[in-house]
Structure 1
């Protein structure tokens, strides 16, 4: 896994954490318009980053956004999460 791939993966994890945190906050503060705008913004950022990752490196998840176009199950080509050196 090259440095650019690791950097993109870390960015996805950061934005994913932000979305989860905002989601939990909005569960108890559903009328907070700033939090809702932030959630929508970061959700779109997350979607864009995941699509970018899959276009560059293959499936992000085994049921990702990109259909497998190489007639082979590429999900197993990447290291498992515990094998990645962050």
Structure 2
């Protein structure tokens, strides 16, 4: 079943990686920011994979594998689970 806690964690980690990505665009030599980015990105990827294995794909366009049959036709969509 849909796990709201896991989805919230994925959203928070995604925001943090985006924020650090933008910071690193202007501060490419900041070792702490790069270390934080890599750590958070690994955690994000692990949680995203966990979600996809148990619920279904979160992103398309070559970023998420699909079981047979093509899972993008199956619901519910992440935003439909409130």
Query: Shared topology, TM-score over 0.5?
Result: yes
1:23–1:59 distance in 2 versus 1, CA, 3 Å = same
Distance 2:44 2:58 in 1: 12
Q: What is the match of residue 19 of structure 1?
A: 17
- 1:12 touches 1:49 (CA, 8 Å); kept in 2? yes
Could you state the TM-score of these two structures normalised by the residue count of structure 1?
0.79
Count of matched residue positions in the alignment of Structure 1 and Structure 2: 81
Unaligned 5+ segments in structure 1 are: none
Provide the rounded CA distance (Å) in 2 between the counterparts of 1:33 and 1:73: 41
TM score, norm. by length of structure 2: 0.82
8 Å CA contact 1:59, 1:66 repeated in 2: yes
Residues in 1 aligned to 2:7 and 2:23: alpha-carbon distance in whole angstroms? 24
| 1:72 matched residue in structure 2 | 69
Deviation at 1:28, TM superposition (A): 0.5
Secondary structure of 1:79's aligned partner: coil
Q: Counterpart of 1:7?
A: 5
Task: Could you tell me which runs of 5 or more consecutive residues in structure 2 were left unpaired when the two chains were aligned.
Answer: none
